[in-house]
Amino acid sequence: MDVKPSARDKSIFVRTLKSARLGLLDAQYEVGLMYANGIGVVQNFEQAMGWIRQAAERGFVPAQYLLATRYASGIAIEKDEHKAFVWYLRAAEQGHAKAYFRLGKLHAMARPGAAYACFSKAADMGLADAQFQLGLAFAVGDGVAQDFGQAAHWYHLAAMQGLAAAQCALAGLYAAGQGVAQDLDTALIWYRQAAQQYYAPAQVALESLDADGNGRSETQGRRKKVAVERRRDLTGWDAAAENGDAQARYHLGLMYAQGLGVPQSDEQAQLWYTKAAKQGDAKAQLALAKMLEAEHEEEAIGWYLQAAEQGDLEAQCALGRIFAYAKGVQRDGLRGAAWYVRAAQKQDPQALLALGRLFEEAWEDLSTTSFRQAAELGVAEAQFVVGQWYAMGKGVAKSATRACDWYRRSADQGYAPAQCALGAYYLEGRDVAQDLQQAFNWFHKAAEQGDAKAQWKMGSLYASGGEGLKKDLRLAFTLCQRAADSGFVPAQATLGVLFARIKNHEQAAVWLKRAAEQGDPEAQYNLALIYSKGQGLKQDLERAFHWLTEAAENGVASAQARLGLMYATGDAVALDPIEAHKWLIIAAEGGDKAGRANFIRSEAGLGLMQITEAKRRANVWKQAHAVS
């Protein structure tokens, strides 16, 4: 039930709002907070973010940091990691320690060096979390050379501020003698401080030390063995567990599983893990799943799922592994990838590694499965994709019949690319009876939806006419112009040819140049002709040679024949009979009649060594361009 704002809160909100409207930054920020929390006004996140953004944009650091956290979390505003980074950076530039820390977190995976720099600044400002992260970076050598002495220094600074994770990490260094002189007593002191905050790793470490008989204290400068400390008795874990405390039950299960302070017992561990897991404890659910997986996989998956839904990264990775690879359940690579993705989004390194391997090994399988399932469920775009597979023989046996079938399913739902593809089948008579009217009808349906390729196809049909379709250059121009204006390159090339047909060489040059520069081979060839003749553009044989070469390299046989002729005559290029013969060989084999005739003449005037070299060059070109 909504709580009505009190009269006092309303009064405070009105006064603050007046100040905010006068431009006071702290007031704008406060109004944003009041809207966000419903203090003195009806809760309104849009208004909240509006006021906080105003203050942030005017340089108010707390507003910049708060805005960054909202973009990072997606709370009260659409999630946007890039904007989060920008606002964290703006706050950090003004000396906000937590902003530096968050920047370090954002950099941690991809740019450890940058993360170290951010953590350093925040740590120098005294932020305990950043000091701990800096210690961790030195401990593992992440973004900086490994240095346990520096790790101990930064852990100590954070530990002195009461950060349990730092206290436990510092204790670990003292226990192992890394970066500091080995000292179990000092390790115990720090472990105890962390354990008193119910920091589980410290509690487990103490139990482990007790089990080894190392729970000792220093008395008057000499060692004195005392009764082994039982953390279970000290903290009352079993009493709390019996009273229904889920965390205590999990901890007790952990103790039984590892034999810490109690006799090791998998049976007792499973009992206490189960009780805690049923209460919703994610750590217990994970631990129970790991115990069950080898012999009771289905039950284990159920517990993994519960832990994973609570955000446990290890459980999410376990589900990714099971569904992607395991044999005990039906393999489901897509489901496995989905769980890895959830963990990877939280920058879990193991998930990122596993996801990379999964995509490397099975990306095509995952893609195929997803598209096919969507197609079977009636998704038009997926049906079109499956049709393309069969048309190209991509991952399936090439089949025009099946391609046509899937295109038709998609086209019947109004999907324009499929309608255009189906029109092409009827136009060319591929596995269906050639039918110009059917082709036109499907092109027309797609063109009405703005499909540029279909508009171009219709324009080309109107330009040529035939088989019951009256030639209509006006409609041809209109349709090709629409497709060309939308950026469809083949339509730009065709439009250039249409302008050339009506002797508007200036416009022909504009459109052919536009298409040629985007790699259309026929446009490149026609632009070369324009430059060579000086129609619509100033005659320029060097530019003509350039575009003729581009078209020839892109497989246009007519261009190859003309290029060979240019080399043979030395027209705008140095005379080179061998290079000329190479291009004439390629053109002749490509079916160009003029190229074939000139090839015969060229071969008659060359010596054996010249012919052999020309053939060698032609073969090199064909291999590079995958021409048989």
Residue type (1 letter), 372:
R
Q: Around Cβ 299, how many Cβ atoms within 10 Å?
A: 13
Quickly count helices (H) and strands (E) in the chain: 35, 2
Which of these, 493, 473, 413, lies nearest to 449 by C-alpha position? Answer: 413
pLDDT digits (tens, 9 = 90+) for 324-345: 876 655 567 778 888 888 887 7
Distance CA(615)–CA(622), nearest Å, equals: 10
Domains 378-485 and 487-554 share a fold: yes
pLDDT digits (tens, 9 = 90+) for 143-197: 678 888 998 999 899 899 998 888 988 998 998 888 899 888 898 899 888 888 7
DSSP string of 145-171, one letter each residue? ---HHHHHHHHHHHHHTT-HHHHHHHH
pLDDT of residue 346: 77
pLDDT of residue 26: 87
pTM of this prediction? Answer: 0.48
Compute φ and ψ for 217, nearest 5 degrees: -125, 160
Spell 61-96 as b/e; 16+ CB within 10 A means b.
bbbbbbbbbbbbeeeebeeeeebbbebbbbbbeeeb
Question: Is residue 230 predicted with pLDDT exceeding 60?
Answer: no
558: DSSP letter: H
Residue 451 and residue 417 in contact, taking contact as beta carbons nearer than 8 Å: yes
Looking at CATH, the fold of the domain delimited by 378-485 is given as 1.25.40
Q: Where are the domains of the chain?
A: 378-485, 487-554, 567-628
Residue 164: both structure tokens together = 């349990």
Give 3-state DSSP helix, strand, coil % of the chain, rounded to 5.
Answer: 70, 0, 25
Compute φ and ψ for 475, nearest 5 degrees: -65, -35
Distance CA(508)–CA(501), nearest Å, equals: 9
Highest mean predicted confidence (pLDDT) among 73-77, 128-132, 495-499: 495-499
Residue 32 and residue 55 in contact, taking contact as beta carbons nearer than 8 Å: yes
Looking at CATH, the fold of the domain delimited by 487-554 is given as 1.25.40
**Which one has a higher pLDDT value, 458 or 68?**
458
pLDDT of residue 75: 77
pLDDT of residue 127: 79
Residue 260 and residue 274 in contact, taking contact as beta carbons nearer than 8 Å: no
Which of these, 310, 365, 312, 309, lies nearest to 337 by C-alpha position? Answer: 365
pLDDT digits (tens, 9 = 90+) for 245-289: 787 888 888 888 877 667 889 999 999 999 999 999 998 999 999
Question: Is residue 480 predicted with pLDDT exceeding 70?
Answer: yes
Q: Around Cβ 428, how many Cβ atoms within 10 Å?
A: 12
Compute φ and ψ for 22, nearest 5 degrees: -80, -5
Distance CA(343)–CA(362), nearest Å, equals: 19
| CA dihedral (110, 111, 116, 122) positive or negative | negative
Which of these, 230, 101, 72, lies nearest to 163 by C-alpha position? Answer: 101
Report helix angle 97-107 to 128-140, nearest 10.
30
